[in-house]
Amino acid sequence: MTAGRFITLEGGEGAGKSTQARLLAAALAAAGLPVLRTREPGGSPGAEAIRALLLGNAVARWDGVAECMLHFAARREHLAATIRPALEAGMWVVCDRFADSTLAYQCHGQGVPRRLWDGLAELALDGLRPDLTLVLDIAPERGLARVLERAGQAAGAGPDRYETMGLAFHQRIHAGFRAIAAAEPERCLLLDATGTEAAVAAAILGAVRTRLPR
Ligand code: Z5A
């Protein structure tokens, strides 16, 4: 039994998850709530080490199944070291990506069977699921354009391994996230991510207030 709240942000590349995770955490903190902002893959020393492996640039380094297992290994470590202790301490945990990303990227994107995701989720999560998942929805072409524009602005910041995987891959992921949101409407909310940062932030805060009243 956990005392805190667990909010995850999901969506494809450039949907604005990191931006919105930062804005939501700041808004919750400004409202006097204890907040922890974290991310996946990563969020604890062991999980960050796995992140460095996963986001390296060799596209064909592992097959989808191995990749799925690596994401869940990182997640289990992240849960044990960071998320569960924070929830048990009563914090509001805002997490940039979580298990839905594995379902979207590795199952919808890379063709890993759903039953494998189910088995790994049962093994790794010990029944923990987010209280609220905000799925930021944007056409992949538009999201990728945002990421490319950012890379153009930051000297030396080339695309990571997933960003090099092609438009068809990102279209499957986009469809996957929509299917996830439609399948679990009590947990997930699909939000239009094409508005300004402020407009998306306001929609998110409204959803959090409605769905997770204090
Ligand atoms: N992955 C996986 O395959 N399986 C898994 O289980 C998990 C992850 C957990 C993590 O990369 C990669 O791992 C990811 C999926 C895979 N694939 N890739 N690549 P990451 O953590 O480095 O990257 P990301 O999660 O995809 O984040 P991102 O590409 O940075 O996108 P974002 O967080 O959604 O967007 P952002 O950083 O907030 O914004 C991107 C740019 O758009 C930036 O310049 C902003 O200033 C701009 N932006 C943001 N919002 C707006 C609005 N509203 N209007 C205009 N511009 C905006």
Whether the pTM exceeds 0.85: the reply is: yes
Task: Name beta bridge partners: 37.
Answer: 94
Structural domains present in the chain: 5-211 (3.40.50.300)
Position in ligand 1 atom list of the atom nearest CA 197: 53
Under the banding of pLDDT at 50, 70 and 90, the label for residue 73 is: very high
Residues 140 and 157: their CA atoms lie apart, in Å, by 20
Task: Examine the pLDDT at 164 and tell me if it is beyond 80.
Answer: no
Regarding the beta carbon of 163 and ligand 1, being less than 6 Å apart is answered yes
Residue among 97, 102, 164, 192 to mutate when testing ligand 1 (max atoms within 8 A of CB): 97
